[in-house]
Structure 1
Amino acid sequence: MNRIAEDATLETLDFPLLVHVLTSWAQTSMGREKLEKIKPFADRQTIEERHSQVAELRSYIERDGALPLAPACSLEEVLRVAGVEGRVLDFDEMMAVYRTVEVGCTVRRQFAGQDGLTRLSAMADSIPDLKLLAEQIEKVFDKEGKIRDSASSELAALRHKKRKARVKLLHSLEQMVKRDDPRAVLRDRLVTRRGDRYVVPVRAEHRSIFPGVVHDTSSSGQTIYVEPLEFVDQQNALVEFDRQEQEEVQRLLADLTGHVRAVSDALAATEQTIASLDACQAIAQFADIIDAVRPIVTDGDLSLRGARHPLMIPGVMGKRNKLGPETTVGEEEPFSFDERHVPPVPLDVEIDSSTRALVITGPNTGGKTIVLKTIGLLTLMAQCGVPVPAEVARLSCRPKVYADIGDEQSVIANLSTFSGHLTRIKQFLDDLLPGSLVVLDELGTGTDPAEGAALGIAVLEHLANLEAMTIVSTHHDALKAFAHSSKCSVNASMEFDSESLQPTYTLRIGRPGRSNAFDIAETLGLEASLVERARGLVDINAAQLDSLIRSVENEAEALASDREEVQEQQSGLEKAHAQYESLSRELVELRQSLVNDGRVAIDEAIKRLRSRGDSMLTALSKELDETRKSRTAQDRRARWAARIGDADADARRVLDAAVDASVWTMEKLRPDIDILAADTVQEAHTEGAGETLQIDDNLEAPLKRGQLVLVKPLNLRGQVVRNWVGDPKSEASVEVDVHGKRLIVSREQVRLLVV
């Protein structure tokens, strides 16, 4: 199998320590063993599949809690024993099989028919159905792992006989020790056991007068434990019952062992699936603890926002899965890690696929090494299917990952610091693949600065030609200049607060860093003349580069300030736009509400009018009956005319009042409505004809029945039904049909629509 990273690289990037933390979350020994062997994958499809499994388990755990996998046991040795003909599994081995089968059945039940958990359901479905084996074991064993009396009729009969024989024997022995003992032969009046025999304590000096078999002597030698001779036969019978019982139990275990042997492949598959689920669940729970996200696997680019080294998150090293086995008291931890109480500064870095090198500079203890380790470890985590602690993560699938961090000097191997680094780099170059990630700390150090820098540039150029992505830290100005001039390299620096003389541990992409040695010296109070002398001794090119870096930093700070101001202005504009959009929606809703309210008011008025009309008709019918008794037909006609006239007038008043109320409400809200209507009501279209109708604002324009008009308060189109213009009694009103509803409005509220 082609390994993504060698052991030295894994060790350098703290990968074994991460694995150690992951294993502490496993519930079973098989899950821990699975995690101990975890390695990054190079196949993108496999990586995505692993991440999908973890994502489903995180979703399941959030909703239903963790899977109870702890009872499951490793069956490798059990199945090896069962596979040998004639070998019989013992009680513990048989219960290990039973508990593992039970866990498998539980997993199958819990994921049966689970929507949205396709991968977990598939894993659960791969667990063979071993319910029959579980039932066979349950028939023999109870929940405490003891053989049931009902395991077989023979066993039940034997145990019944043995219990009766024991009760009889004990009763006889108790009666014996209660007899008078004038010579004080017995040390105590009690019955005890030695091995599988019942005995009584006898004074040693009376051994000759108490017949029986001695089974033990007290530490003082003054008491001997004797099996009375008269009960030897009864005790031999009990021993025989025990022997027969053991034979029957062995026969039952042999029978069960045969059943286990018959399904050994299914049991092995069950164990492996449980191990995979346990390892996956450990990763899911660890991901929840560190607030990790599923990385987006890309082709070449690298983007992290809010990333953190997982082992630097406060408390992460002390957290353990309570469902898993407890650590043995006094057990030596194979790893140690300095527990932090302050959260690490989040890392933001973005490198596109065209960039081949990121050159990070800055003062010592500024965080350069942590940046290298974080990027390297998060890349390995992503390719193992482990979510990474970040807000957003885009990481490429790397065919190889190399890391050289720390001092590689060796007295035994006769290697200096420089030679150690060079040896590691040579190993990288021997089997480098395009797209590999190379992480180098302090490139070019340990030798003459000029030569080391030149060699470092040559290495970066060679790695770029091999299409590797290299992230390197350095103090060499020549490497800063190379990154600035190279099209495929980018400078970056660790931010440093020169006033407080403290690093901020913030990575700044696009600008090189300074050593800040002279600033720190001045702040610490070193004599000014010494600092100036030191500045004068600096190479002119280095001084110019340092000045350039300083000016770039000042410009960057100014741009950052301008950017913040622009962002604030943009934020204000966005808020204003949002308020405008909200107001527009509210006005649309208000207009529709007013239209609906107007229609409701008119409908209510019509209902009241009809009700009054029905009442009037009823009254008129009664009047008609009465008028039949009147003296003359002329009187009847006059009275009918008067009633009908009153009814018509009342109906007109009720309808006008309803319409006026609706119009008054709309007139009151006219300013708000006009804001929206001014933009939208500029032209109307005839239905189906496609002709554009213009609004005629001439109030003197004559209106005729059937003409199209616009009712402005409602912003709705209607058709003229009746025009009272010129009639003094009607006050220049117009009756308009709007969507089947007839409205009476003033002439001023109506505009003629013309082609």
Structure 2
Amino acid sequence: MNQAFKILEFDKIINKLKEYAFTENAKRHLEEIKPYLSESELEHSLLETTQARIILDTFGNPPLVSLNEIEDILIAVRQGGFITPKQLEYIGITLTAVMRLKDFLKRCKQLNISLPYYEEQLDSLEQLRYEIGEKIRAERVDDYASKLLRSLRQDIEQVDAKMRQKAESILKSNKECFTDSYITQRSGRICLPVKKECKFKISGSTIDKSSTGATLFIEPTVVSKLNDELINLRLDEENEERRILYSLASKIHDEEEVFYENIRVIEKLDFIFAKGKLSFDMKGVTPEINTRRWIKIINGRHPFLDPDQCVALNFEMGDGINGVIITGPNTGGKTVAIKTVGLLSIMAQCGLHVPCEAGNFAMNSQYLCDIGDGQNITENLSTFSAHITNILSILQKANHDSLVIVDELGSGTDPTEGMGIAIAILEELRKSECLYLATTHYPEVKAYAEKTQHVMNARMAFDRESLKPLYRLEVGKAGESCALQIAKRLGMPSQMLITASKAAYGEEQSQWITELNIKEDISFKQSVAPKLQRKKEKQPPNNLTEKFSIGDSVMILPDNKIGIVCMKVNEKGILQVQLREKKIWINHKRVKLHVRAEELYPDGYDFSIVFDSVATRKARHQMERKYDETLEIKIEE
């Protein structure tokens, strides 16, 4: 998605639209929605949104459904694959939904608008829908799907009942032979729980036995004969079910084009009604569109602000005014105002309704924005560098049909130079003849707007009595930052305000001190802060580092093992000793001097012979002569 769209929060609008859609295809098209560049296509899209809103207001939500599984079923049918009763039932439910949607759209035709006439492109395939409903129920082939199937299932019930009667009869007549007084099933066969010692008294096949072997599960011979008959009946039943399923699948395949047309129309309606539902949810209106480079918003609001609390935006530019420079205090709503203009313009050009009383929006070929600090640590960009990099890119792209929005113009650097850069940027934007909105605090920029043709000042209203922003944009007037007044209201001490006033206004500072109604004797009061608790630095035990030297022969207690000191005692009282098979770290208290190093080795002895491997010593010797990147010296611990 265009970065400017994300900055202006159009991605959130798309997410809202996707929540209203049912079909995956509609969601995908909504995710790809972008401003129309064709005026006629945009007018058609807006007309669809408006008619969807009319239907929603009059008749409520249409009975749209998800069609996400239909295409997979159609592909399986086309390839001659087997489709399940569950899938057929889903097809039937879908055709029922098509029928209900057709009925809904037929009622909507009384509104005398064109959208309901999509009904004529839908076909609920009444005969097929009826046949599926008659033959498939509860995700299985119904008993009455065919006379043969009904007959087979009746025969299966009778044979199954006869098998149980025979088994029950044997059970009752030979009670002493059984461990339980009921029949059971093993491996899908009816069996009797026969005592092991009575197995020859019951004629039949042993199917299973208990874990102890004391009970045998025997299928009586008379039951076995009936079971063979039952198996044949079940095979016939399965074949008949398959015949019915393939017959229905074949009929679905014959109507494949109708199914795809239904899918296309429903997805199109889903897309259109998602736009209508967004309009309904945010109380939107149909915007007017122009190519005369003119924007007018009457009582507009940002879509994601509470309509009962936000102050309505009234804004107009164009007809000779290409640039609007907005000034005013921080937290006064400047950024919200310019983002609202940008977002509503994008929504209107995407064929969506906008949340305002009325609006007329220019079609733009590009939306170019610089809002936020843009700081990027990975690219080593400061706030100012990020702004300039982005704005230079904007200036290269901007043309007559662009809408440019820049927040805090010239900020993030030396105020004097920042002011000069801000005016230079505005001058380039003016030359490009694009529409542009910018916010700033520089008084020189306000003066530039007053004397420059095609540029106008605007301000966010501010109540100087209560020192609170009114969040109301006033076009044609320059605003003040009111920074000292706001700082005073937020609790800045008088002495700091006096210092700030002197630095800002020099000789005129007394006027500002009077206006601020501050006293010079009030100073900044420091609050009590928590104290850091620093830990005491650990001192190494006295003379421990000198207790042992490298090469000393020592005895490890209590094992009385002899070793050689590799590393001297550290601040924790630990040293390293080379034993015969390994090196160990050990507390100095468990080590006793055996023989001093100077008694064992001559002066300047190379202890690497004792402590390092042959390979490591060779590598070290080679590296001392010249660097070799293929060599590796391992430090053993």
TM score, norm. by length of structure 2: 0.71
1:235–1:488 distance in 2 versus 1, CA, 3 Å: farther
**Secondary structure at the counterpart of residue 444 of structure 1:** coil
Q: What corresponds to 2:116 in structure 1?
A: 121
Please tell me the residue identity of whatever aligns with 1:461.
Answer: E
1:65-124 CA distances to partner (integer Å, 9 max, x unpaired)?
21111364442322332332x323223333333333332233233323713343323322
- Structure 2 contact 171–178 (Cα < 8 Å) conserved: no
Aligned partner (choices 410, 417, 441) of residue 376 of structure 2: 410
Aligned partner (choices 240, 261, 267) of residue 269 of structure 1: 261
**Secondary structure at the counterpart of residue 140 of structure 2:** coil
1:434 aligned to 2:415? no
Aligned partner (choices 56, 68, 77) of residue 72 of structure 2: 77
**Structure 1 residue 7: Cα displacement:** 2.8
Q: What corresponds to 2:333 in structure 1?
A: 367
Q: Distance in 1 between matches of 2:161 and 2:177?
A: 29
1:239 aligned to 2:234? no
Q: What corresponds to 1:151 in structure 2?
A: 145
**What aligned pairs does 1:177-576 form with structure 2 within 5 A after superposition?**
177-178=171-172, 181-182=175-176, 184-186=178-180, 189=182, 191=184, 196-199=188-191, 212-214=205-207, 227-228=219-220, 230-299=222-291, 300-313=293-306, 343-523=309-489, 526=492, 528=494, 530-538=496-504
**Structure 1 residue 274: Cα displacement:** 0.9
**Structure 1 residue 441: Cα displacement:** 1.8
Q: What corresponds to 2:6 in structure 1?
A: 11
1:107–1:374 distance in 2 versus 1, CA, 3 Å: same
1:530–1:311 distance in 2 versus 1, CA, 3 Å: closer
Please tell me the residue identity of whatever aligns with 1:303.
Answer: K
**Secondary structure at the counterpart of residue 118 of structure 1:** coil
Q: What corresponds to 2:562 in structure 1?
A: none
Q: Distance in 1 between matches of 2:205 and 2:500?
A: 105
Q: What corresponds to 1:647 in structure 2?
A: none
Q: What corresponds to 2:160 in structure 1?
A: 166
Q: What corresponds to 1:46 in structure 2?
A: 41
Q: What corresponds to 1:57 in structure 2?
A: 52
**Structure 1 residue 472: Cα displacement:** 1.7
Between 8-17 and 94-103, the greater mean CA deviation after superposition: 94-103
1:554-574 CA distances to partner (integer Å, 9 max, x unpaired)?
xxxxxxxxxxxxxxxxxxxxx
1:228–1:538 distance in 2 versus 1, CA, 3 Å: farther
Q: Distance in 2 between matches of 1:499 and 1:137?
A: 76
Q: Distance in 2 between matches of 1:288 and 1:279?
A: 15
**Secondary structure at the counterpart of residue 285 of structure 2:** coil
Q: Distance in 1 between matches of 2:195 and 2:444?
A: 99
- Structure 2 contact 460–472 (Cα < 8 Å) conserved: yes
**Structure 1 residue 304: Cα displacement:** 1.5
**Structure 1 residue 30: Cα displacement:** 4.2
1:214–1:509 distance in 2 versus 1, CA, 3 Å: farther
1:143-175 CA distances to partner (integer Å, 9 max, x unpaired)?
x44323333343333223223222323333444
- Structure 1 contact 290–313 (Cα < 8 Å) conserved: no
**What aligned pairs does 1:616-631 form with structure 2 within 5 A after superposition?**
none
Please tell me the residue identity of whatever aligns with 1:536.
Answer: K
**Structure 1 residue 132: Cα displacement:** 4.1
- Structure 2 contact 326–438 (Cα < 8 Å) conserved: yes
- Structure 1 contact 200–226 (Cα < 8 Å) conserved: yes
Q: What corresponds to 2:105 in structure 1?
A: 111
What fraction of aligned residue pairs are identical, expressed as a percent? Answer: 28
- Structure 2 contact 89–133 (Cα < 8 Å) conserved: no
Please tell me the residue identity of whatever aligns with 1:295.
Answer: P
- Structure 1 contact 304–347 (Cα < 8 Å) conserved: yes
Q: Distance in 1 between matches of 2:210 and 2:468?
A: 78
- Structure 2 contact 186–207 (Cα < 8 Å) conserved: no
- Structure 1 contact 304–348 (Cα < 8 Å) conserved: yes
**Structure 1 residue 208: Cα displacement:** 8.8
- Structure 1 contact 361–493 (Cα < 8 Å) conserved: yes
- Structure 1 contact 302–353 (Cα < 8 Å) conserved: no
**Structure 1 residue 362: Cα displacement:** 1.9
**Structure 1 residue 204: Cα displacement:** 8.8
- Structure 2 contact 183–190 (Cα < 8 Å) conserved: no
1:21 aligned to 2:16? yes
Q: Distance in 2 between matches of 1:374 and 1:250?
A: 61
Instruction: State which structure, 1 or 2, has the greater radius of gyration over its C-alpha atoms.
Output: 1
**Structure 1 residue 490: Cα displacement:** 1.7
Q: Distance in 2 between matches of 1:351 and 1:78?
A: 55
1:449–1:284 distance in 2 versus 1, CA, 3 Å: same
- Structure 2 contact 177–194 (Cα < 8 Å) conserved: no
**Structure 1 residue 284: Cα displacement:** 1.9
1:542-565 CA distances to partner (integer Å, 9 max, x unpaired)?
99xx9xxx9xxxxxxxxxxxxxxx
Q: Distance in 1 between matches of 2:450 and 2:44?
A: 40
**Secondary structure at the counterpart of residue 407 of structure 1:** coil
**Structure 1 residue 456: Cα displacement:** 2.7
- Structure 1 contact 73–97 (Cα < 8 Å) conserved: no
Q: Distance in 1 between matches of 2:162 and 2:257?
A: 50
**What aligned pairs does 1:718-737 form with structure 2 within 5 A after superposition?**
none
Q: Distance in 1 between matches of 2:208 and 2:18?
A: 51
TM score, norm. by length of structure 1: 0.61
Equivalenced residues, count = 509
- Structure 1 contact 196–239 (Cα < 8 Å) conserved: no
Gaps of 5+ in 2: 517-637
**Structure 1 residue 271: Cα displacement:** 1.0
1:302-335 CA distances to partner (integer Å, 9 max, x unpaired)?
1112212212237xxxxxxxxxxxxxxxxxxxxx
**Secondary structure at the counterpart of residue 38 of structure 1:** coil
Q: Distance in 2 between matches of 1:66 and 1:11?
A: 30
1:390-431 CA distances to partner (integer Å, 9 max, x unpaired)?
111222222222222212221112222222223333443444
**Structure 1 residue 275: Cα displacement:** 1.6
Q: Distance in 1 between matches of 2:421 and 2:400?
A: 21
**Secondary structure at the counterpart of residue 414 of structure 1:** coil
- Structure 1 contact 359–492 (Cα < 8 Å) conserved: yes
**Structure 1 residue 516: Cα displacement:** 0.9
Q: Distance in 2 between matches of 1:428 and 1:357?
A: 15
Please tell me the residue identity of whatever aligns with 2:296.
Answer: S
Q: Distance in 2 between matches of 1:400 and 1:180?
A: 93
**Structure 1 residue 11: Cα displacement:** 1.6
Between 12-21 and 118-127, the greater mean CA deviation after superposition: 118-127
**Secondary structure at the counterpart of residue 316 of structure 2:** strand
1:240–1:124 distance in 2 versus 1, CA, 3 Å: same
- Structure 1 contact 496–504 (Cα < 8 Å) conserved: yes
Q: What corresponds to 2:539 in structure 1?
A: none
**Secondary structure at the counterpart of residue 182 of structure 1:** helix
Aligned partner (choices 87, 91, 106) of residue 85 of structure 2: 91
